[in-house]
Amino acid sequence: MNADIADTKEKHFNGRGVGVGVGIGKSVVIDIESAEVEPNSISEKDVETHKKKFSKANKGLTEELELLAKELTDKSTREIIEAQLQIIQDPEIEKSVSAIIEEKLLTVEYAIYSTYCKFIERLKESGSELFKQRIVDLEDIRDRLIAIVCNHTHKHPVKKGDVVVAKDISPTELVAFYEKGMAGLVMEKGGPTSHAAIIAKSLGLPCVVSVKKATKNIDAGEQLILDSESGMLICHPDKETLKSYRKKQKDRLKLSARKCREVFETKDGHPYQLLANIEFEAELPKVAEHGARGIGLLRTESLLFGSRIRKGQEDQEVFYSHILEGTEGPVTIRLFDVGGDKTTTRASKEDNPFLGWRGIRLLLDEKQLLQNQLKAILKVSGKYPGRIKVLVPMVSVMDEVDSIKKELEEAREAVTSEGYAVDEGIQLGLMVEVPSVAISARKFAREVDFLSIGTNDLTQYTMAVDRGNERISALFQHYHPSVLQLIKTTQEGATEEGADLSVCGELAGDPVGVAFLIGAGISDLSMLPHSIPEIADLLSSFTKKEFEAFAESALNSSSDKQVKELFEKSFCQK
């Protein structure tokens, strides 16, 4: 904490901005520690009473979540609630709780605590980032069930216009507070890819994470401003600061309300394409609402981890068909991008999961899973010729490219032998996520139809920073010149071989990042739907030459800080 203005109470805190726009409001501080539960004994005559308490609590929480899901105005968040419902209704959890009560003669609250802690430890050991993001869900459900059986309830008086300040927040709480009209979210924990941060983005909610000791340094009822673009949190703003940010907030609302352009062009007429990153069918209305020209990244992991597991071909065909029916333009389907964890047929604990069995490495071992997905995609492609692209995650060596091409051909032969028509021109592309592919982009581009840069993982592997580790989150620098140089190298390689190139990582929806990408010669960008109006406004306000000059200067910079300063000078002071 540092006070920037000596003669006022105004205080500035630094964090990481991951949401959208500016939030202004009174603080509601949530600082509740999860208390450990002692293993207290019960008598045999109390077993049924404790089991009934658990059943009643489980039923009550289920009904509460089902009601919340029905009342949600933002449909894209329903999958979040369904994920928690799936956890609550997991028969393994009920079986474990009952066994602890019956066999060990321990209280229901300890049975709940012990069971959920066991599941949490499993997820901590998992190599899947998606599973790690479920930990906060499990902790939230655990604590809420314990509170119910112990008749302890925590009511947070969040009302419209409040800014919530918390150490962490569960998806359920975030959605509930959003429905009440919260103005913004401040968290001590989490990085830009944490579960809560991703949800805040999808809701269009101003959010700043990684604000150290926020719950200790901010009192309830204080006036706050959070700027999700700069990651700045301001407490007790003076009149001039408040006036400036209210104007910024008003300008942002005007931008969001502006109708999407018929044509995406820079100020001097150079075209570009803005597409959407989505995962759920419920997100399709936002794709159309914000004017996306197609789906640049369709994540498919929800088929494995959602409220209903849909590994089979037929279920996948239905999902892909609904996506194609509900949108126009190209749809790039990324193959399952998961790690070596208990969701697959091979369970293995890895010392270095981010450098381990994930993406294409897993898929080439799990042939049935891969073939089912490829066959489902190919069957749907015949109904929508020219629209589907297949994207392969986590490629690092050429042997993997050769293998996936053989797998695709095998799936094609199987599908056509069954009498299905397939799109003979279906495009195959690779995710550029590791430096080995970026450095040799020309060789990889020669073997496929397109490349798509995943800037989140490319940054992680270039900077040697676990993007989920909040302790070193400041080193996760999207704008670092080393990362930008690898992007430029990829662009040059793809151009030389005549392969299409797009960017589907977080950098594509970031003003600084997109200014560099356009300047570096990459015109196909895919992002969260709500980012499209702001990005279109920026790109249409300046010329291609201005972006090219910025990109050249950024590549010659020595730090991400310099890149940000260059952006401010080039595009924010004109």
Residue 497 burial by Cβ neighbours in a 10 Å radius (0-12, 13-18, 19+)? middle
Distance, C-alpha 87 to centroid of its chain: 20
The closest alpha carbon to 50, from 1, 119, 99, belongs to: 99
3-state secondary structure 208-253: EECCCCHHHHCCCCCEEEEECCCCEEEECCCHHHHHHHHHHHHHHH
Which phi and psi angles does 436 have, rounded to 5°? -60, -35
Active site residue 207: no
DSSP state of 352: S
Q: What are phi and psi of 224, to 5 degrees?
A: -130, 150
The DSSP letter of residue 314 is H
Beta strands 184-187 and 163-166 are parallel
Number of residues written out for the chain: 574
End-to-end CA distance of the chain: 32
* Adjacent-strand bridge partners of 389: 332, 427
Structural tokens at position 142: 């655990």
What DSSP string describes 485-552? Answer: HHHHHHHHHHHHHT-EEEE-SGGGGSHHHHHHHHHTT--EEEE-GGGHHHHHHHHTTS-HHHHHHHHH
Catalytic residue among 195, 478, 480, 530: 195
Q: Of the residues 50, 207, 480, 504, which is catalytic?
A: 504
Residue 89's CB is within 10 A of a number of other CB atoms, namely 12
Number of C-alpha atoms within 13 angstroms, CB side, residue 423?
A: 20
Angle (CA) 158 160 166, round 5°: 40
The secondary element (H helix, E strand) that includes residue 172 is helix 171-179
State yes or no: is 117 an active-site residue: no
Helix (H, G, I), strand (E, B) or coil at 426: coil
Q: 404-436 burial, b if ≥16 CB within 10 A, otherwise e?
A: beebbeebbeebeeeebebbeebbbbbbbbbbe
Q: Which residues pair with 452 in a beta bridge?
A: 431, 502
Known catalytic residues are 195, 504
